[in-house]
Structure 1
Amino acid sequence: MNDSGREALIQRIFSEVRRLSEVDRRPRMVELGADSVLIAEIEALLLGDAETSALGASPAARGATGTGAELGEGDTLGAWRLLEEIGSGGMGAVYLAERSDGHFDQRVAIKLIRGIPDAETFVHFARERQILANLQHPNIARLLDGGATPGGQPYLAMEYVEGEPIEQYCAAHSLGLDSRLRLFQKVCSAVQYAHQRLIVHCDLKPSNILVRADGNPVLLDFGIARALDQQAGPRELKSASSWVTPLYASPEQLRGEPVTTASDVFSLGLILFELLAGRRARLDADDHTITLLGQSAVKPSELAEAMPWVARLRGDLDAIVQRATAADPRERYESAESLAADLQRHLDFRPISARRQGAGYRLGRLLRRRWPVFAAAALLLLVAGTFTWQLARERDRALSAEREAITQAHTAERVSEFLVSVFNVSNPNLSQKRTLTAREVLDQGAERIEGELSDTPAVKAKMLAVLGTAYRYIGESARAVDLLDRAASLYLDPRVDQPLAAADALSALAVVYSNNNYPASKAEQVASEALRLRERYAEPESLPIADALNTLGIVHESEDRFDEAEALLLHSLRIRERLAGKESRAVASVLHNLGLVETSRGSDLGKAIDYFERALAIKKKLEGDRNPDYETSLADYAKALRKDGQRERAVDIQRKDLALSRELYGERSELLAGAHNELGYTLHDMGRFSEAAAEYQASMDIRRELGGDTGAAFAIPLNNLASAYEDMGDYAAAEPMYRRSLELRRSGQDPDSPLIASAEYNLARLLLKMGRLEEAHELADKALSSYRKRYGADHRNVVKVEMLEVERLLDSHALDDASELFSKVVASPVELGDTFLARRHALAARIAEQRGDADKALEASRQAWEAIRRAWGEHHPLSLEYGLAYARQLSRSGEHQQARAIVNSIADLAPAFSPRSPLHAELARAPGRDE
């Protein structure tokens, strides 16, 4: 049920039961469909309702509730005709009436008792008539007439007030804090007027204070008010206390003790609390706010519900409400006038009586009250001080600029000298070598930094950062990490003290970590430190801040924290578009990274492709299409196309990227190795396993030549090569590769890294195919635990491991356990792609087959066959296994011709598989195969 429907139901049931006796209410609420929560809410409304909140009504009143009044709508009473009932309570009802004698038009509110009046009720009405006759105040509803009905029931005709209850008026008209206080002061004035005539209202509450359209409040219902100069007997005293509203009654009223003006002050304090805090002081039966206010244990400022003036409540207004609502009447304001006066002192920035008036407090009030005088004096002092400070500042700025210019000139000179000396090694006349590669030039420079720049730490830091960035762009991640880390540390050295330059180096270092499969914790730590430095030393919403957000977004993308990554990158994009321009290199960079997020998330690959195409267009326009920046986006663009199923197009782009990488980075580069690996991915997806294996092998050869066959980066093509051999059915060749990949990832990654879990799953899947069930189970269990810890129970990686466990249980002939776990897999809300959907249908077919349900097995095999072809295409090698399984089920069901047709349509896929593949034997045994 939505909020509006729930509110409507509450109001309907409330209207139905508000006039029932307390005994009859709850059964009726249950009949009307209220659950325990709704009943609690409705009872809270009944507790605070003006007409239903009697504290133990007298037997006569309780009996009268259900008997009906003598008169009703349409009846005439003296000069008045009753129009409609506008209120109802334990004693009687209130009707809107108009004059019926034709002398003039006038509307009044007529109060009638309900049922047979007793002596006590006559006393109430007699007292109310006398009280109202004595009260002539513009903010108190006037008594106009009174008498008895034909049946002897007393009635009162009072001024009819058109208005809204005070708390509703304030909310509807969006009254500010000062306006609410001034409105409340008028209420206090009316209450004080009554108190001066020795009359206590006894039932002050928001519904008894209506505010007219002109903004003036009017007090209603002096029906239980007491004249303090009259002595009431015990029975009358009990009667008076039995009709108060508990929500706003003072503690002494609730105890049945004699009332005083302090009782009205308490009720005023609760009303003031409601106007300031935007909520009632008592929300339900378990809310002890009123008691805590009385003990000064809570403050309105602590309980205000999103009111814009919460800060202004602290101090004066908190103290005023706490004093007005003190549990002990002797600690409250002595009158409503005193309460209003303290509010006026607050509005005038004068010390209030409810707080201790220390020197600091009095001085603060004086400053607020006389701020123009103090501001003028402070301005004169400020102008004089600023003039003096400005002179000194300009002097210091000139000296600082001079020193900075000298430092920068010296740094530029040293950097220039160093670079010239480094690049001289490529001069054949000086190096006595014919040619040198870019890497060899960088290696020469890196070796010379320590020896030649130790006396100039600022120059050394800059050169470390420059060379680290250069190594990053030629794909030498290990050298880049070392140099960038040292550059950042040196920039933070007190001798250099360039925190923003350090943030630049840290940002570049975080990207290298993230892009090269270093532990995620390292990348996040470095990226967060870069953001911290920029937030401290750079302007808000500046380009350095945008760079830090972009870097942290890259790191979160690598951790599969896609929503966080997207939010950071979009924030960076907005800053960069505003400050650098929509076609700047900075914007192209963040568009590229947004493409990575969408590619990894996989839910909107069209969006990913669009991001990459926009990034490539900007980069080509700015720098052409033969530079590392363009190559990076080209490579990731191809990944998005591959995941979107556009494999032929992806292969074409990846072959261009491979050639460009070779041209840019040379034959020995991590980036060229990465290009071979990515091309292998796509060929693998297309079922061209042998070609894919060749690309994976080329990637590994380059990394091995670079000395990188022991890191997590080497584990990637190694794992992929193992996967290619697995798909070709050469399990013996795949196993040692999977084991080596797992070993490398365990040695270089955080224990909970998803890369480790992925390697464990891959090896478990292979071992299961090889019939080594226990070892497979052990590895799968580790992967499952890791995935659940990272992603929770409802995630695609969790489901795929659970499906592997179902397969193991079936291989172990544990049919019931397999069926139970499979039911959980089927019930999972995770959306599976067609590849995993095919596996799920294949498992359903195996379960049905083992249970002897041939029809269900046939249908599940058909669904698996269709899903795998949707995933990989009509004629993909990976469909061979599913086609043979479907043909076998067709043959068992007597559909031999259809089985033969399927087998013949897929038989030509066999050459894609290794001679060791079990599929060759299965194909040979396939039903109805034409020889």
Structure 2
Amino acid sequence: MTDALARIETLFHAALSLPPESRAAWLRTAEHDPTIRDTVDALLANDAADNPLRAPLLAALSADAAAPQRIGRYRLIDELGQGGMAGVWLAERDIDGRAQRVALKRLHGASTAALRRRAARERALLAALNHRGIAGLIDGGETEDGTPYFVMEYVEGEPLLRHLAERRPPQRERLRLFRQICLAIEHAHQRLILHLDLKPSNVLVRADGSTALIDFGIGRALDDSGAGEHHAERTVAFTPIYAAPELRDGRTPTTATDVYMAGLLLVEILTDGALSRRARDGATGDPFADPAIRSALDGDLSRLLARATAHAPDDRYASIAALRMDVERFLEGRMLAASRQTWWVRSGKFCRRNRWPLLGAGTAALLAVAFVLQLSAERTRARAAEKNALLAQDLQSSLLVALSPGGNPQAQARIEALLQRERRRLRDSGDARALDPAWRSIASIVAVAEIYVAIGDPEPALKSADEALRLLAEPRSTPRLHDGRDDDLLARAHAARGQALNALERYTEAAPAFARMRALREAHRREDPQALATALLLQGKAAIEWRDFALAERALAEAQTLAAAAPPQRGFPVELAIARLDAASESGDASAQGAARSAALLALADTELEAASPLWIDTWLALSRWRQFEGEAQAALADAQRARDRARQLFGERSVVTATIDNNLGTMLADLGRYREALTHFDRARATQARLSPDKVAVLASIDINRCRAQYALGDYAAAAASAEAALATLPDTHAAYRRLRSIAWSNLARARSELGQHPAALQAARRLLSDPWLRSAPALENAFGRISMFVVLLNAGALDEAQAILDQTTPVLEAQLPDAHPAFLYTARRRGLLAAARGRFDEADRAFGLALTRMDATDDDPLTRAEIRASRAHAAARLGDAARARALLLQALPVLRAETSPDARPRIEAEALLRSLSSGTGKAQPSPR
């Protein structure tokens, strides 16, 4: 079949879907070649009602359609629909005595090689898809006469427009339906598949309100270059009223084609099928000028639809994901990307005009262009590569948005920069292997793994790295690709693998990957010291997560030495300074050293980083963690808030990066006694992490542990115990990173049970923690904090000597490791007061509580802790016979306790009981052990 015949067939099938009176006018706009147009006109004339062949042909078609009672293993039950290319039946088959209902699609026409190829193509497309929003492929084959058929999931639902007509949902519900459809299309695009026939009849709505996209019959794979003897068979048919301009003009479809059709589908959803009504009525002109359509669209939605249905593909949304996110912004009342005309919109258009593919052969082909265009001997190959690249360029744009956390355009630009860096790396390498497609393909896969790592998506990063390593391990026919000179690619693949495994908390597997990366770089220390320095930095950062601070310090110190010997890459000194400060913060054993590192990081960041650099996020977070360790809660909070503001700008509200910062912000707010605010951040962080990274056990457990701390402080002891138990239930005892969190969770559980009066269970949990081998081997400061957290449990249970011993043993460690103004010392004073009161030494208790309040005046304010100390001092004053001072302290403490804690909070209950006793004149309330 020639291209002209394929064009005739495409136009003919498209015109058949229009009313007869509209076909001629549409054909004049859809086809410029008069010969092709006349041929299609002649074919359409045979569809006239008075054509003597029409009735017998339709009868034959009906007889053919109705004839089969069974196809293969499937019994046909009812006809679901007939189209120009296929008929669809409801069918069922027996599976272990139970009937399974399916949708069976049988192609029309005589069994030919072309028909079988078309069926195989559609089956291949469906087999690549696995999404609830897409009717999935179950089976396939050929009938006895050789006609292809395939079997799909039967969706028990109603057509989209019928659903809308019967339910009459509000606008917001309609937009949510459209959002579901977009997610299904995104799934297809990420698997290199276009639908190309997005219209209401191809969307079903289930009883639960979920949607299912059907009929990929005219879809195509994005990497289908169209080359070869059967190119004409790949010409895409289309439904005229929904067809994008490039389809009507016979140009190659891209993801932008589906974006256009999705935009018109949204118009149909919002207007109850106004476009299809116009087509039936033979209306012409701009549909957006139709009053019935205009009235259904407000200002923002009209701008959104104008961008989605722009005539030029480059003027549309970069992807279905970008369109979906603008719909979400509209639902959330935020400014749309379609409404913005800022620098990044213009930058985004530039990136789309210059984009190149990420995956597979398309990626490798486009990377080749960067070299091949420079080599006159390779110009022929360059032109072929360029042709293939054009077919994949829109996919890359879609992936940039889909991969970007929150789909933010600035994150997209960051990924574009990573791709450009990879292209420069290959262009400037001078390595002749870059001309070899096999080597270039592996390099592309490694680059994709690195990009997934950079944007925080570890699972595809791991898959890409493993695939690259598998290919590098295979013996290949080209000797130069397997002669021991693949060390750079191997090291990069192992680095990406290690980082992905670390992010997935598979620490035991990550360690060998980092070790292998380092060994490969060590072998080339002389020729590439910067690559070794980078490897050491990555290993050092990973070791901090593993709580292996000795390894972290060794690796980071050696990286520092290498960086000092040669000009480092831009940004590397800042990344190294961040890691060294984090090592000091997490190990807790080097206060003076940490202070010097903090100052060095600030100086480097101010010198090295541009104002918009994403590295500011990591810089502010590292400074925040250090200041929190130093007890500077307000300064720590300010830095964390700066980091969150920048993360929201770069990655959006719903990203792993923003969620991580929310967790950090919550801990700092808790340090300031702002527990209700802290809980808001913890809950938001947990919801985001559970949605984006449900398998990250340590991340979710750390948030539960932090929530437990806030719940405990607010007096919700049952909820605190539940949060601690939830963390313990998920944390394995397999690695130091997990054991540390288990230790904190046991501490929280013991304290919560103690406040619930479950003293035996609380003591059991406390002693389990105190004998924990991990806690015993922890750094001195972490060990001290872990042990002293059990003070209140021992005190409440009456184990006063044990409580005294812990206090005496941990205080020297705190004094040696922390600055004098650290809040830990006011808590030490408070604990001494509680212990003295429990022993009946109220003068000593009163002085200790007074010292704690004085220390509080010199530190960041924590109103709840201040109120609790005042209440404890009031108890001591009452036992010393100073009722007036006790009452004054209670009147200062109780408003805060009542506002900030639950009615079940022990400090509040005891303070109110003491005030009642003082008011009654008895003054007999017992002193609180708090």
Relative contact order (alpha carbons < 8 A, sep ≥ 6): 1 or 2 greater? 2
TM-score relative to the length of structure 1: 0.48
Structure 2 length-normalised TM: 0.48
